[in-house]
Amino acid sequence: MTKHTQKLGVQWLFWACMAPWAWAQPSECGFIKDPDRQAYCRAVNGGSEAQCGFIRDSDLQARCRAESGGGASQCGFIRDKDAQASCRASVQNQRPATGSASSQCGFIQDTDQQAHCRATTGAGPGQCGFIRNPDLQAFCRAETGSGVGQCGFIKDRDMQAACRAKVRR
């Protein structure tokens, strides 16, 4: 795995983990510069599935539709296998009656993504310690109970804004 591929994987995981159960204020999403990521943030943080239509990246758009009401079947349109499994885990975590969300995490090959998936679908904050990327680790800690203060340790500005949007209630 090249450094560029690894960075793309971490970025995908980060944006993939923005889930609707956060109920953050969509105004926090306004600090995100990337228009696709901003629309995703708005859709999954109290907006509507209609926001997903503004997303140009087809994988992110499918994830957005899945997490904002379309269900796990939308995850099947995601080409990246790790992102597809992460999407299914996230959607199952929103609807616990549909099965064990963390079981989908086992299909993720990237170790950082897998640890993040496990942490956010039931295994708890201890899994965040296995994440090597410092931005993703801080995001993981913030969303698994350490609070919005962890978002301040994230260097990527878009990721930091998304973290605050997700963690603030």
Domain residue limits, the chain = 11-18+28-167
Q: How far is CA 162 from the centre of its chain?
A: 10
pLDDT digits (tens, 9 = 90+) for 1-48: 555 555 555 555 555 555 433 344 567 899 999 999 999 999 988 778
- Give this prediction's pTM: 0.78
Element (H, E) at 5: helix 3-16
The total number of residues written for the chain in this structure: 169
Check residue 86 and give its pLDDT.
94
What mean pLDDT is reported for the chain?
Answer: 84
Check residue 92 and give its pLDDT.
87
Q: Can you tell me whether residue 101 is helix, strand or coil?
A: coil
pLDDT at residue 98 greater than cutoff 80: no
